[in-house]
Amino acid sequence: MELKDISQKEVFRYLGYQNNVADKTTQNIAIECTTELLNCCRMNYTYKTFCCAVENGKVIIDNRIIIESKNLSKNLAECNELILFAATLGTQADILIQKYTHLDMSKAVIMQAAAAAIIEQYCDQCQNNIETELQKQTLFLRPRFSPGYGDFDLKHQKDIIALLDCNRKIGLTLTDSLLLAPCKSVTAVMGISNQNRHCNIKGCEVCTKTNCTFRRG
Ligand code: SF4
């Protein structure tokens, strides 16, 4: 990814600016942080398709993993398959953020926000690539849904990491307290549908289809 792929608006959204505009100095620091991260990160992702069954507020993946989540079930309704997905910026991002935590705390805070924006936009890019492949078979993706959203318990990160063999494939692990390592990483589920709902890549929260049956709570 290059600097032009990273929306600085997103970086400032993570910094809590909402619709306010940062001063020029802060904008320049944000660009510096984004550039430094992009130069050092070794981004990677992995994904795999699994069969799924959705019933009574439960999602059963590959006939063996049971996830109790009404929000996820609603989002995956009518899907017989799903994709488990994981992506990471790698340990280099953590090391860089850690370095600035000691050197310059205000820069470390901006670095955190830039890293959050990069991983989200990297996931969007991966999701677009996956969807392009699926469309060749006239299949479409529902929005990605990560453990921790709504009632989708964080503990299911463990299942995703195990089913995708994340440690071996992209160096991603989970601590006993359910923190992803490296920190700037994402795990998610994406439903596969044979109907194109023109889902918003940013998810249901920003989608204008407010009466959609599959909208997550
Ligand atoms: S609300 Fe929008 S993004 Fe969410 S499932 Fe429906 S169409 Fe897709």
The rounded distance, in Å, linking the Cα atoms of 69 and 67 is: 6
Q: Which atom of ligand 1 is nearest to the CA of 210?
A: 1
Segment 53-74, tens digit of pLDDT: 999 899 999 999 999 999 999 9
Average pLDDT over residues 177-204: 93
**Residue 166 token pair:** 């994340």
Among protein residues, the one whose CA lies closest to atom 4 of ligand 1: 204
Report the pLDDT value the prediction gives residue 210, as an integer from 0 to 100: 87
Count, in order, helices (H) and strands (E) of the chain.
7, 8
CATH code of 113's domain:
3.40.109.40
In a domain, 119, yes or no: yes
In a domain, 213, yes or no: no
Q: Which residues line ligand 1 (CB under 6 A)?
A: 142-143, 197, 199-200, 204, 207, 209, 212, 214-215
Question: Cα of 134 to ligand 1 centre, how many Å?
Answer: 18
Residue keyed to tokens 């799924």: 52
In a domain, 16, yes or no: yes
What is the domain count for the chain? Answer: 1
Residue keyed to tokens 């009632």: 151
In a domain, 203, yes or no: no
In a domain, 23, yes or no: yes
pTM of the model: 0.93
Segment 146-184, tens digit of pLDDT: 999 999 999 999 999 999 999 999 999 999 999 999 999
In a domain, 210, yes or no: no
In a domain, 212, yes or no: no
Q: Give residue 19's pLDDT band: very low, low, confident or very high (50, 70, 90).
A: confident
In a domain, 207, yes or no: no
Q: Return left, alpha or beta for 30; rule: phi > 0 is left, psi -120 to 50 is alpha, else beta.
A: alpha
173-174 and 140-141: which strand pairing? Answer: unpaired
Domain extent, residue 71, equals: 3-195
Among candidate residues 65, 57, 44, the one with its CA nearest the CA of residue 160: 65
Q: What CA–CA distances, in Å, run from 210 to 99, 152, 205? A: 43, 21, 9
Report the pLDDT value the prediction gives residue 132, as an integer from 0 to 100: 95
